[in-house]
Structure 1
């Protein structure tokens, strides 16, 4: 089954995002690819709404990170219509000495080249 032009374009964009995240460039990925009115969900928690708010929250988290262990895609990305999926392992250490390892499935909905809705499912 071949991808539509829209799906190919979205797949290119999600691969760009993943390349930035792999280098730890979270703020650049968010600045470049989040829609102004984005909604980001951590599991079943209420959404973080708005690009500026989401970036501010990410900056707070990143200010505690002392060691970045990687953002490694282990499955995907896959695209169907306006939605992408991938599975990733993210590792980092914070200034309180705690090492974090998040295994996530990430679902993103795209519109006009930007992420408008994203949910992180954690294991």
Structure 2
């Protein structure tokens, strides 16, 4: 099945986002790609709504990180319509001595080149 020009553009944006994440540039990725009224979901938890709120919450998490071991895309991204999907592994340590490894699928809906809705499915 052929991808449309819009789908190819979204794949390029998804690759740009994951390249920033792989470098640990989470805030930069969010500032660049989140829509002002974005909704972010961690699994089945209630949405974090709004770019500014999401940035504050992300910074709170990042302030606890003592070592970043990587964000690796293991599959994708793939695209269908206005939605991209990919699988990734994120590993980091926090100041409470915990080592974290998240295996996740990320589903992202885009509008006008910005992320408007994203859900992280963790294992």
Equivalent residue number for residue 117 of structure 1: 117
Scaled by the length of structure 2, what TM-score is found?
Answer: 0.99
Give the 3-state SS of the residue equivalent to 2:55 in structure 1: helix
Q: Secondary structure in 2 aligned to 1:106? A: strand
Normalised TM-score (structure 1): 0.99
Moved over 2 A (4+): none
What RMSD, in angstroms, separates the aligned Cα atoms of the two structures?
A: 0.4
Q: Gaps spanning 5+ residues in structure 1: where? A: none
Q: Deviations over 1:14-56 (max 9, x none)?
A: 0000000000000000000000000000001100000000000
| CA distance in structure 2 between the aligned counterparts of 1:14 and 1:72, rounded to whole angstroms | 13
| Distance in 1 separating the partners of 2:93 and 2:61 | 11
User: 1:2, CA displacement in angstroms?
Assistant: 1.6
Query: Aligned partners of 1:96, 1:42: CA distance in 2, in Å?
Result: 21
Rounded Cα–Cα distance in structure 2 between residues aligned with 1:84 and 1:91: 22
Q: Distance in 2 between matches of 1:47 and 1:37?
A: 11
Q: Which whole-Å CA distance do the structure 2 matches of 1:15 and 1:75 have between them?
A: 12
Mapped to 1, the partners of 2:122 and 2:85 lie a distance apart of 14
